[in-house]
Amino acid sequence: MDTRSGSQCSVAPEAVLNNGDLVLPPRISRVNGWSLPLHYFQVVTWAVFLGLSSATFGIFIPLLPHVWKYIAYVVTGRIFFFYLIVHLIASCIDPADFNVRLMKNYSQPMPIFDRSKHAHVIQNQFCHLCKVTVNKKTKHCISCNKCVSGFDHHCKWINNCVGSRNYCFFFSTVASATAGMLCLITILLYILVQYFADPGVLRTDPNYEDVKNTNTWLLFLPLFPVQVQTLIVVIIGMVVLLLDLLGLVQLGQLLIFHIYLKAKKLTTFEYLIKTRKEESSKHQAARKDPCTQMEEGFLQQGDGALGSSAQGAKVKSFLLIYKSPCHFCTSVNPDGDSSAK
């Protein structure tokens, strides 16, 4: 989660620290996930999707026996196609507040926010930057520099804010991506088992009738058969399996996290604010505890290395509180009314 800098200078709406780098909001508000510049996470997402799709439908599914092959084409194909559609919709939708979309001219630069005049970007449900009245759950996103209705978080992977207008498509993207990963892992594990148990099961395609060498395999069947050695297929399979497992772990965590949020009727932003307040209360209570104060005094007066190590451990444990399963998205710290601070 991005944190604010301590500067009181006038920026639009405010500079933030992101992994140690000072990040300024864009002067021109972003419309959706295709507004330039594209984020490199977004490029990686599409590259991985295209690569996995090519490997799945061009290499691995054609190796399956006839019955399983057609089942895999239908099931996996529908999941991948559904993922493509909902991902595109989540990226293309403008999640801005209704009044922003109604009144805003996206070609005009945003005004400079001056904290000497206003304590917050949004006060009494009026945004001093967008110059419109917004609803209660609207927040002004720093990365997009506009008010987002039902703000959840800003996602680098779709390069767009996730709000009430596109949250269901974002959730469907995560769910379908997880399902697609599970399908691909199932296919790869079946191929791996059959390769050691009965390799002939993987060579049922008619194009193998002309291949006499059992160490030769055909890729991109049935349209563009390419002959390769076993080692090439094994390397491709292991790389895809590794990427798939890593992606499944991350996406699985993200999916479970958002299922939890839906059950609690919270947004990612609300969850992080709630967690921050709870942690702050715990630290304040700990400071009032005489035993804790004596322990802290001992650490400060004792061996320098011990004190430094203990304080470092505290900082690490404090930061881990905010490292939610939402690795695949970036929850920016949008400016709103005092309740959002």
Q: Which residues are catalytic?
A: 155
DSSP H helix total and E strand total for the chain: 8, 12
DSSP label of 115: T
Cross-strand pairs, 140? 147, 335
- Distance from chain centroid for Cα 264: 20
Contacts 24+ apart (CB under 8 A), 64-68: 64/187, 64/190, 64/191, 64/202, 65/201, 65/202, 65/204, 66/204, 68/190
Please give the structure tokens belonging to residue 124: 């009494």
Please give the structure tokens belonging to residue 147: 């008010």
Please give the structure tokens belonging to residue 338: 């005092």
Short-list 279, 285, 287, CA closest to 319: 279
Question: What SS3 class is residue 330?
Answer: strand
